[in-house]
Amino acid sequence: MKIKIVFVTNMCTHYTRPLFEELARSYDIEFYFTGGHETYWHKQNELKLGDFKGRYLPGFFLNSKFKITPSLFCLPIRTSDVIIKTIDDRFALPLVFIMAKIFRKPFIFWTGLWEHPQTLVHKFTYGLTKFIYEHADAIVAYGEHIRRYLVDLGIEERKIFCARHITDNSVYNQPVSEQQKKELKQRLEISQEEKIILYVGRLEEGKGLNYLIDAASTLTPSPRLLFIGTGSKEEFLRHLCTVKEVRGSFMGHVPNEQLYLYYSIADIFVLPSVTTRDFKEPWGLVINEAMNQSCPVVTTNAVGAAAGGLVEDGKTGFIVPEKDSSQLAGAIKRLLTDDDLRAKMGMRGHLKIKDWTPQQASLGFQQAINFCLSSNRTKE
């Protein structure tokens, strides 16, 4: 008989669906989704379901960030073997944790947090979050950077397991012909000779895009900055490009299924994220996506994919200090002026991302589940 699992998280996306389907092949697992309203999720993106048992739970909002989901009280926790919960959702997390403890079921905490936010609300909830870290039966983390963070907090290391943070590579590694690239550049009114620096994501403070524009303004010849995404900083960033005399193209939202075309024409992909009071880049799956098209990466040390080992400085990309336009410009210039280095770095990234699969991602969960059940049997 398969191990029965209740898995509660905010939503099923194009990047979590392959992992959920992989777990469903090994376990009798039911997914319950409480979100879909997150600020980082573009409203034009489809909320997914897949080849697994799962459903979205209705609820109501007390404010823009606090959703009450009463049907969580009806979860089949009593008849399950293991409970898994992600760090999102201020209502669902403590409730599911308490219910797991009441029914004495192993509780696994899946987290991508590697620095606790410093807003007033987050400072208030820090104690509860740490309590859950301490009393979870196992923790699944995005990468080694989170394991280090948790160990520094005093969390027992033997119960922390890393699961590779993945996306669906098949969506992004599709072949693109030279003719397709030429036609896309023509449609974007970009000359064939221009160097393209691509950014994909939200246009918000935590993404550090002002530092990218500052860096680009010092480069000669000036590259084309291609921004894909929307956000509250768009008007500011457009103005900054004008003031700094940087050629910036703002594309708005592009469907996930079409992004591979843009990665294919980019000379460099840059994710210049910075730490703010309420944000530190948990991972940056756009880096996974870019690597699928052999696009070399420049990012900062405030990005999880860099701290967690996907980006290897000088090998699969360059990692520069956050909020440092000068070093960011230096890394970009080095790649733009060295065609051989750019090609080699892109190829190394492409080869590495091939191993970041749902099968590999599921291993951390399997280890955590086995650890929980083994520890539970020992207690009995």
Read off the pLDDT band of 108 (50, 70, 90).
Answer: very high
Write out the H or E segment, with its range, that includes residue 63.
strand 60-63
Residue 228 has pLDDT above 80, yes or no: yes
Please state, in angstroms and as integers, the Cα–Cα distance from residue 211 to each residue in 206, 244, 331, following that order.
11, 11, 13
pLDDT value of residue 104: 96
pLDDT value of residue 379: 58
CATH number for the domain harbouring residue 183: 3.40.50.2000
Residues 194 and 72 in one domain: no
Residues 325 and 365 in one domain: no
pLDDT value of residue 22: 97
Give 286-330 pLDDT, tens digit per residue: 999 999 999 999 999 999 999 999 999 999 999 999 999 999 999
C-alpha to C-alpha distance for 26 and 28, rounded to whole angstroms: 7
pLDDT above 70 as % of the chain: 95
Map residue 304 onto helix, strand or coil.
helix
Residues 132 and 104 in one domain: yes
Residues 311 and 185 in one domain: yes
Q: Are 131 and 155 in contact (CB under 8 A)?
A: no
Amino acid 89 reads D
Residues 206 and 68 in one domain: no
pLDDT value of residue 99: 98
State how many domains the chain has.
2
Q: Which residue has the higher pLDDT, 201 or 116?
A: 201
pLDDT value of residue 292: 98
Q: Are 318 and 297 in contact (CB under 8 A)?
A: yes
- Dmax over CA atoms of the chain, in Å, equals 69
Give 27-54 pLDDT, tens digit per residue: 999 999 998 665 555 565 566 789 999 9
Q: What distance, in Å, lies between the first and last C-alpha atoms of the chain?
A: 20
- How many other CB atoms are found less than 10 A from the CB of residue 209? 30
Q: What's the rounded mean pLDDT across residues 189-212?
A: 96
Residues 290 and 368 in one domain: no
Q: What's the rounded mean pLDDT across residues 91-116?
A: 96
Q: What's the rounded mean pLDDT across residues 85-114?
A: 95
Residues 339 and 286 in one domain: yes
> Per the structure block, which two tokens stand in for 97?
């944790």
Residue 60 has pLDDT above 60, yes or no: yes
Backbone angles phi, psi at 144, to 5 degrees: -65, -30
Q: Which of 377, 333, 375, 379 is nearest to 137 (CA)?
A: 375
Give 189-199 pLDDT, tens digit per residue: 999 899 999 99
pLDDT value of residue 120: 82
Q: Are 331 and 271 in contact (CB under 8 A)?
A: no
Residues 46 and 162 in one domain: yes
pLDDT value of residue 39: 58
Average pLDDT taken over every residue of the chain: 94
Residues 124 and 207 in one domain: no
Give 315-368 pLDDT, tens digit per residue: 999 999 999 999 999 999 999 999 999 999 999 999 999 999 999 999 999 999
Domain residues for the domain of 287 are 169-353
Q: What's the rounded mean pLDDT across residues 195-209?
A: 98
Read off the pLDDT band of 378 (50, 70, 90).
Answer: low
Partner residues linked to 60 by β-bridges: 68
C-alpha to C-alpha distance for 218 and 112, rounded to whole angstroms: 35
pLDDT value of residue 4: 98
Residues 161 and 66 in one domain: yes
Packing angle, helices 358-379 and 17-26, rounded to 10: 50
- How many other CB atoms are found less than 10 A from the CB of residue 225? 23
pLDDT value of residue 38: 57
Q: Which residue has the higher pLDDT, 62 or 366?
A: 366
Residues 9 and 33 in one domain: yes
Residues 268 and 292 in one domain: yes
